[in-house]
Amino acid sequence: MADPTLYLFDGYNVLRASGIEEPAELVDRLASFVALRGVRGVVVFDGPGTDKEYGALSVRYAPDADAVLERLAAEHRATEQVMLVSSDLAVRGTSGQEVMKVTSKLFAAELGDMGDSRPQPSRLADRVDEQTRAWLERLRRGRK
């Protein structure tokens, strides 16, 4: 069963804390994060842009991202678990005591721990250089 948590991300706040340079890369990482955990997420960026959906992640743009995050927290906190990811003290304070909160810096560390999602080689031969592979083959055949 999927976790009922709704994650609300302060877009540029998380972007700065994560060290990621492009919003598109952050959106990609957040889409993977929510998909892997079976949760929903909304990332809100200040400024103009086109709202989009990436699976369980909604990307929104607004003149005041903080106001949108506060409104979303208020709308959902009575019916589901809400996790607000922001370091903005005003947003964290006005989102309500029912809302779980984590700073962007702490969340960025967790996001960074997800690492590279590309498949890793599963055989030893795929992970060693050619010289080492040849040396191991000689050992296997009883030659030094």
Q: What are the residue ranges spanned by the domains of the chain?
A: 6-119
Note the CATH architecture for domain 6-119.
3-Layer(aba) Sandwich (3.40)
For residue 41, name the pLDDT band (cuts at 50, 70, 90).
very high
Q: What is the distance between the alpha carbons of residues 131 and 111, in angstroms, rounded to a whole number?
A: 36
pLDDT at position 4 over 80: no
Q: What is the pTM of this model?
A: 0.74
- The rounded Cα 64 to chain-centroid distance in angstroms is 22
Average pLDDT rounded to a whole number, residues 5-28:
93
Q: What is the distance between the alpha carbons of residues 1 and 23, in angstroms, rounded to a whole number?
A: 30
* Percentage with pLDDT > 70 across the chain: 84
- Residue 76 Cα distances to 36, 58, 67, 93, 99, angstroms: 22, 15, 14, 16, 9
Instruction: Characterize the bridge pairing of strands 40-46 and 52-54.
Output: unpaired
Instruction: Kindly report which listed range (4-8, 39-43, 67-71) carries the lowest average pLDDT score.
Output: 4-8
